[in-house]
Structure formats: C-alpha cells, structure tokens
Amino acid sequence: MADAMIQTGIFEDLQRKIDEDSAVKDALRDIVQTLEKQDRTTQSILSRSHSTPSSDLHTVVSAAQANIDKEIQTIQQLSEVASQHPYYKFNYSWTRTVQDACYSILLCGWLGGFAKGETGQLLTIEDVGSTMKVPVNLKDRDAFHLTIEEYLLALISLLDELARLARNSVTLGDYRRPLQIAQFIKDVHAGFQILNLKNDTLRKRSDGIKYRVKEVEDVVYDLSLRGLLPKD
Amino acid sequence: MGVKRSRTAMEGQPSSDAAAAQRQSPLMPMFEHFRAELDEHHDRRERIIKASRDITAASKKIIFTLQRIRHLNQDLPAHAVKGNQPYHTTIATQLASVSADLQGLNAYRYSRQISGGCQEWMEAVSFQHYIETATLLSYADARTQIKALDREGPGVELSAEDYVLGIYDMTGELMRFAITGMAMGGSLPTIPASSPQSQPQAQPTDSDTSLMDIDNDQPAPSPTTQRSLLTDMRALRSALESLDARGGPFAKEADKKADVMRTSVEKVEKALYGLIVRGAERPKGWNPDAEFAGGRAVEVEA
C-alpha cells in the first residue's frame, strides 16, 4: 500500500498533456489570425459591390478572387496543422474564421466569381470545398474539412448581404437584380424550411432568413408599385 | 407572407405567383441531403446525451452507497459491492450503447455531450478507489477502466480534462466523508502508515496549503503527523492548484471547480478545529456539517 495519496507522475503527466494541447492551440491561433486578416481584406473588396454598377462588377470580383487565393493558401496551412490532431478537439479555434472565408467565397461566387461568369449562382458545399482545396463533410476519417454547419451559416450570411445588395442595386439604377435576389433568397429559405434544426446557432440564425425574404420582397413591391420592374 | 402584394408585384413576370409557389426550389436536393446529415448528427447527439445522463445518475447512486462506508484503506464491504452492482451494470450498458458513436472523428465531436457522464463516473470510481486503497486513481488507470467497461465494443475514451474535473468533484465527496466520519466517530478518518516512520505526502509542488495550518502536516513526533483524510485532501488540493490549465474552456470549468474544492478543504479544517476546541463539550450526535449550513458560523482565525 502506498504511503502517499498521490503517486508521483500523475499530475506531471497531466500537465504535459495540457501543455502539448496548448502549444497546438498557439500554432493554430497564428494561422487563424492570418486568415482573419486576409478575409477582412477580401470583405472590404467585396463590399465595393454595393457601389459598383453591374457592368463593372467583374473588377470587384477578380480583385476579391485574387485575395481569396491568398486565403486558400492559409487554409491549406491550417488544414495541414489541424489534420495532425483530432478535428473536433480544436475546431472551435477556426470554425468562425473558416465560416467567414466560406461566406467570402459564396458571395464572390454569387457575384460571378470562380468562373461562374453570371451572377445569382450558388456555389455548393462541394464547390466551396474544391475552391478551398479541402474535403467537405468528412465522416470516414479524422482530418480537416468544411462542415455542413459552417457552409449553412455562411449561406445565411450571404442572404443578409444580398438583402442589403437588393436595396443598393436600386440606388445604382439596377431594377433587375432585386428580382433575382428575391428569387434566390426564397429558394434558400425553402431549403432551410425542410431542415429539422435543434435549438442551436444554426436554428437561431436561420430564423432570421424570413426577415430577409420580407426585406427583399418589400424592395420588389416598391419597384412594382412605381412600374420600375423590367418588362421582359 | 405578402401573398396579395406579390401577386401584383409579379405581374408582367413570365411565371405567375401560383406557378412560382409550385415551382420547387432548385436547391431542394441539396437541402434534402443536408437534412439527412443533420438528422443523423442530432440523433447521435441525443443518444449520447441520454446515455450521459443515465451514467451520471448511476454514478451518483454509487457515491451515495460509498458515503455510508466508514473505513478507509479496506476492501468495500459486501453489501456495498452488491448494492452498487446494478449501477455499475447500467453504466457499462450505457457506455456500450454509445461507444460506437464516439469513435474516430466523433470522439471529440460529442465530447461535450458525454463529458458530464464521464466526469461523474470519474468522481465515483476515484472515490471508491480512495476508500479502498487510500490513493488517487491515476489517469492512465481510469482510462483503462472506462475502456474495459465496453467489453465487446471499441470502448469510450476518457479525456484528461474529464479526469481532472472528476477529481475536483471527488474532493467534495472526501469532504462529506470526513465530516460524516467526525460526526459519527468523533474523529477525523486516518490512514494507518504501512511502514513505521514513513513520511506521508509526496507533495509535488509548493502551494498555499499553509492556509489555516493546524500543524497536521508538519513532520513532528506527535499523532498529528498521522496521515489523515485532511492531509490527503490538502495534498490533492496542492496538486490540483499547481496544475496550469492554460486558458480555454477547460480552464474556465477548472477554475469554478477549484473554488468549490478549496471550500471543501476548509470545511473539513473548520470542522476539525471545532472538534479539537470543543470536542469534549460536543453533545452526542451533533453534526459539524450543520454549522456551515446556516452560514459561516465558525471563525477559525481566532
């Protein structure tokens, strides 16, 4: 029978484990911060779409896409480090930022980026994954990937931004885009309605979609009242 | 939403509103796939939460039984072993039911859902281990034990975090055990040394155990050098306090539990003080725990 309650080594081992995890966290944080910074730049480029006429939109899109390429390099780095550890052990440290990057890609794609050529296209989760060069919705192995939740949350951010874009398009004299946005938001809204969401972040954020539907419908309504809708 | 107005709004559009409503969103197949994936995730999550709750409940019952034991460093009495058997079976069954859900990628995905059960289980087994052997169950041994509970399956992984948090909770049980021991037996439960002159305690680090030292843990040729439940609690407190959680959600939880642990150690210290100062006057059946229920009646630094 041991004379001391605590065998030597127990707490030393635990501390070592904690320290190791902490080192991983630090390494990840550096990469995530780089990605955050890059994404802020992308966002500021993309926000010019609110004041750019459709005819010049391609300049905004190509500038954003060039910056997204840098983000993708960082995501590659993140993927490499993160894949050495259990995915869900540390994913809290990047999920928010990856979501933001996914949103940038979705918005850029909707505006005609990534060889879509025309506006109004939704990049699927697979599209975003191949753009990011990471797998999506992994189930059979433990490595870095884009999750469905991250994609859906980014999609909701896209709707928020498009509702704003609908109004600003009108200001720019583009009366066609609000119709396109209205249809798009309705399609996504219909999709979200078939999901069985639990009381989580996704549920709370998706509850806001119906307000976006209404916002854009209001814009379309205003245009139709004044006979401003395109007649074709 | 706004059917009336959109009917007028959509006038001149190739598709009438009725047709638009009929028209299925082109995104439906994609969302149907998401629905299937999310449903699978939520179902699994709920299974794990349910198992975790059942494991928690069974562990609590095991602890109740253990709190009725009065001897340290001895095998459990037969009635306790027999009484706790069904609860151990429940725990093993519940763990086995979700062990497949907690493999690979999913081990950490649902760690928050199973964590409650694991911590409570850790509290129960470490408490039992202490009663039987007067030592702290190591993380390695605890990990092996929980894995072994799922005899036919892959087993459930115990995280270092859950181990530590479970040990924090276990100090509360030691406190209850010590107080009950003092109330029923009139003295703090002690652990007889296995060899004469052996030094109790291998305190790994310096720490503020000096707080309210009633000279029990000073090596002096008196019965107060005797290793007791209190000296062990202090050793544990010291070891846990020296652990640096390094931020994050774990550090937050550990901090909260550390406060409770400190209170537990102090409760025993205060009770022991009361026992020594007023021991002779103590009426039979007086329970020191009652002293603390109504607020901090006992001032130690008098």
Q: Give the relative orientation of helices B78-99 and B28-66 as an angle to the nearest 10 degrees.
A: 170
**What is the tally of structural domains in chain A?**
2
| Class of domain B29-158 (CATH, top level) | mainly alpha
Structure-token pair, residue A203: 């549920």
- For residue B224, the model assigns a pLDDT of 55
Measured between its terminal Cα atoms, the distance across chain A in Å is: 90
Binned at pLDDT 50, 70 and 90, residue A232 comes out as confident
Question: Distance of CA B227 to CAs A190, B75, B239, B263, Å?
Answer: 69, 19, 17, 21
Q: Is B210 on the interface with A (CB under 8 A)?
A: no
Instruction: Note whether residue A5 is domain-resident.
Output: no
Structure-token pair, residue B170: 């276990």
Residues of B in contact with A146 (CB under 8 A): none
Instruction: Note whether residue A3 is domain-resident.
Output: no
The domain boundary, picked from A146, A168, A197, lies at A146
The domain boundary, picked from A107, A124, A146, lies at A146
- For residue B285, the model assigns a pLDDT of 64
Chains A & B: contacts with CB separation below 8 Å: 166
- For residue B287, the model assigns a pLDDT of 63
Domains of chain B, residue spans? 29-158, 160-302
Contacts 24+ apart (CB under 8 A), A144-150: A144/A78, A144/A79, A144/A80, A144/A82, A144/A83, A144/A87, A145/A87, A146/A98, A146/A102, A147/A91, A147/A95, A148/B34, A148/B37, A148/B38, A149/A201, A149/A202, A150/A95, A150/A98, A150/A99, A150/A102
DSSP string, A87-154: HHHHGGGTHHHHHHHHHHHHHHHHTTTTTT-SSSPPPPHHHHHHHHTS-BS--SS-S--B-HHHHHHH
B-facing residues of A in 155-214 (CB < 8 A) are 179, 186-188, 190-192, 194-198, 210, 213-214
> Are B96 and B153 within 8 A, CB to CB?
yes
A80-108, pLDDT tens digit by residue? 999 999 999 999 999 999 999 999 999 99
- For residue A117, the model assigns a pLDDT of 78
**Closest residue of B to A187, CA-based?**
B25
Identify how many contiguous H helices and E strands chain A contains and give both numbers. Answer: 9, 0
User: Is residue A92 located within the same domain as residue A54?
Assistant: yes
> Are A190 and A213 within 8 A, CB to CB?
no
Distance from CA of B218 to the nearest CA of A (A): 15
Query: Is the predicted pLDDT of residue B14 greater than 90, yes or no?
Result: no
Query: Is the predicted pLDDT of residue B205 greater than 50, yes or no?
Result: no
CATH number of the domain where residue A185 is located? 1.20.58.200
Q: Is B100 on the interface with A (CB under 8 A)?
A: no
Closest CB to A3 among B24, B38, B194:
B194
User: Is residue A22 located within the same domain as residue A132?
Assistant: yes
- For residue B183, the model assigns a pLDDT of 87
Instruction: Note whether residue A122 is domain-resident.
Output: yes
Instruction: Note whether residue A107 is domain-resident.
Output: yes
**Measured between alpha carbons, how far is A143 from A152 in angstroms, rounded to an integer?**
20
Distance from CA of B64 to the nearest CA of A (A): 22
Contact B246 A141 (CB under 8 A): no
- For residue B9, the model assigns a pLDDT of 43
Distance from CA of A70 to the nearest CA of B (A): 28
B-facing residues of A in 39-78 (CB < 8 A) are none
Contacts 24+ apart (CB under 8 A), A61-67: A61/A108, A61/A111, A61/A112, A61/A113, A62/A113, A64/A104, A64/A108, A64/A111, A64/A113, A65/A108, A65/A113, A65/A114, A67/A38, A67/A41, A67/A42
User: Is residue A124 located within the same domain as residue A215?
Assistant: no
- For residue A127, the model assigns a pLDDT of 97
Distance from CA of A78 to the nearest CA of B (A): 17
B-facing residues of A in 83-122 (CB < 8 A) are 86-89, 92, 122
User: Is residue A136 located within the same domain as residue A179?
Assistant: no
Instruction: Note whether residue A4 is domain-resident.
Output: no
Contact A224 B11 (CB under 8 A): yes
- For residue B286, the model assigns a pLDDT of 60
Q: Which domain holds residue A190?
A: 156-232
B20 or B211, higher pLDDT: B20
Q: Provide the ipTM.
A: 0.94
Query: Is the predicted pLDDT of residue B218 greater than 60, yes or no?
Result: no
Listed in sequence order, the residues at least 6 apart from B278 whose beta carbon sits closer than 8 Å to its beta carbon are: none
Structure-token pair, residue B94: 């519940």
User: Is residue A179 located within the same domain as residue A139?
Assistant: no
Residues of B in contact with A186 (CB under 8 A): 25
User: Is residue A126 located within the same domain as residue A178?
Assistant: no
**Closest residue of B to A21, CA-based?**
B246
The domain boundary, picked from A100, A123, A146, lies at A146
**Closest residue of B to A145, CA-based?**
B105
Residues of B in contact with A141 (CB under 8 A): 104-105
Contact B200 A4 (CB under 8 A): yes
Q: Is B23 on the interface with A (CB under 8 A)?
A: no
Contact B38 A148 (CB under 8 A): yes
A134-158, pLDDT tens digit by residue? 999 999 999 999 999 999 999 999 9
Q: Is B196 on the interface with A (CB under 8 A)?
A: no
**Measured between alpha carbons, how far is B297 from B289 in angstroms, rounded to an integer?**
11
User: Is residue A228 located within the same domain as residue A161?
Assistant: yes
> Are B71 and A109 within 8 A, CB to CB?
no
Distance from CA of B184 to the nearest CA of A (A): 24
Distance from CA of A59 to the nearest CA of B (A): 28
A117 or A39, higher pLDDT: A39
